[in-house]
Structure 1
Amino acid sequence: MKRSWTAWIGYVVAGWSAAYGALGVWWALGGGGFPFGTGDPELMAERSAAVKVSLLGQATPEVAGPVIAVLGFVGAVAAVMMARGVAGRWARRLLPAYAWLLAIVLTVGIQDYRTLIVFAYTPILAIAKLLGVWPEGSGWGDLYLAPRVNLMICLLAGIGWALTAVAYRRRVTTSCGACGRAGADEPSFVDRWGRGATWIAIAAPLVYCATRWAWALGFSLGMDPVAYREGQEQGLWIAGASLASFGIIGAVLTLGLIRPWGEVFPRWMVGLRGRRVPPMLAFVPAVLVSVLVTSASFMYLRIVLIDGITPETWAFNLPEVFFSVWGAALFVSALAYRRRRQRACEACGSGVTDAPNEPRGDALRPRSASRAV
């Protein structure tokens, strides 16, 4: 699948787009299940703040349904054309532009913090289930609400559109369809900035983590005392600290993108020590986290721009604004890691072959230096 995904990703995205376009028609005609705006119970619980949470906070099925239908059906046609490699003069420009537009809209534009919440709290609740400390009166259905699941599906579809655009570029240029290389593999900006971006990606989430642990340890950070005590009684600050702990673990794992143990399993990992770390094992989670935190950050940016910052509220919203910095830095770091770990391509022969179970001595050097060696 890793070698052949460029052949089928466009058709998968086309199928999703056609299905979602059909749902747009259903919603426009009065069908139930509209997951945005007025059809989202979470947003409607505090309607005045709906636009701050989501750009579609006030959307109605009568207006949004036809728009979704048009975008979906046009997208299905465009995805099939890209999968078939239609490469006319205008197609080379319009098709990838449309694909990237939908990718940005689906992964960032319509998203809010809830997609990140679902991904982050799923392992926390799973561990709570195993330990027998499952929150009383709650279940998986409280986390996986229909509008949240819809946002997750849209985010994955957005990633699919981005991959479709990448596959199309490979198909209509001289790039290798399997690895994406086009002739000489010259250094790019991600090679030059990858190491610095990694350190930024490590530091950026720590401000958020510090505020959540401060609340759990009894420091209100300027919050209204009554509201702080209510949060303590409800266990909100402990839950926030648990989520922050995953942020700290993620920061430590990010360091592996520039350290040898990110390429070869360390000695203490019994059964795996000395083996080569599959590049996708680090690359895929890093890219997914970068998309999730970036999509959430824009919601907090809207809140800060509309409501401003006060001594009582800064810890709620300001740290999350920097999630966009975290996401961008992590994405660049992940790309640099992937480029550095690319081995010789079986299809085109480009790249450098290294021993599968041994670290390369030039692993952290610029790619130009690696070729010189």
Structure 2
Amino acid sequence: MQQQDSGAHGAGTYEDRLREQAHLLKQLRLERGNPSLRKIEARAQELFGQGREERLLPIATQSAAFAGRYVGLEKLMWLVRTLMSWSEYGEQCQAPPRRSPELAAWRDGWTVLTGLRPPRGATSRPSPVPPVVLPAAGEGVLRDGDGSLLSPEQSEAQARRLLQEAKAEAGTVRRNAVKRAEALLTEAEKKKDEITAEAKRALDSAHQEAKALQEENQRVRDEAWGHALGVRKEAANDAERLLATATAESSAMIQKSRQDADAVLAGARQDAMAIRERAEKLRDRIAGEVQDLHERARRESLDRVRAADRRCEGLLASAEERLAEAEATARSVVAEAQTEASKTRIAAVRKAEGLLREAEQKRASVIREAEQDAERRQAAAGGPQGQAHAGSPPPA
């Protein structure tokens, strides 16, 4: 009985150690952002599963560790190092190496726990019963353990006492076995409930993560489409503004060219009119001088009259030549003014056409860049669900 009580005390210490280890693992998981079991499994495979086909930390192993059941040292170290690969803010960081001082406390705790672990198949056994030696033929008595003979009354009493002790010991063993079986059944039910609750929590967490991921993908997709539409609208506004600016500049240049041409033509006409007026005045003055000379010639001799006539004819010829030169000069000025105005107008029209082409090219380039940016954002926002929605039309 003393040996059975000692074994029960050792099992209780082992159970306490298991519960303490599970509590520390849960606390470490909460401190590192409370990742889901599936996320821990994927992170462990990413960190330590290079070149391995089997899963390092399946969900069943994690559930056993968090529920207070025994796991091996290697899997415990993988679980602890994987949880430590997240910071206190839930962000991924470098996992501690195998010989890190941070893992010493976990390794020592597992060593103590393994030392307290009872061996498999170990059960409490009843105290040994002293051997009873049956009497030889014809003796009619029993022998004690030391070989001394007993009387028939003593043998009968000894047999009854041994039978009662055997029945009492068998009842004790049976009661202990029933209690142990009931305790194991209770623990199994409790562990079953814990596993069911943990599986339900894991399933709820997975559903929540999937829903959050779907909402995040939809939000990113909506933002990408909104940004693309905004960029496209802004590009269209810029193109229209550039087109309006180019049209206004070209109209202004054409108007200015027309004004410059009109000013040149008006100046040329004014110059031609001034030259013509001066020529007419000169002609009138020469005609007056000729008339004066004629009058003087009548009073003078015939030679002087003839000389005056020749002089008058020369002056008239010179005046006609100067008048012809003035008219030619006026026509040349007018032609040059018209040519210059035509060149200015052609240059203004060509520049306006160049500005219009440049505005159209810039508008097409901006729209193309906006569409490419929208496609890149949509591709960057795509995951398994983002790719599934990639072919859907943009929101209204």
Give the alignment's TM-score, normalised by structure 1: 0.19
Bigger-Rg structure (1/2): 2
More helix by share: 2
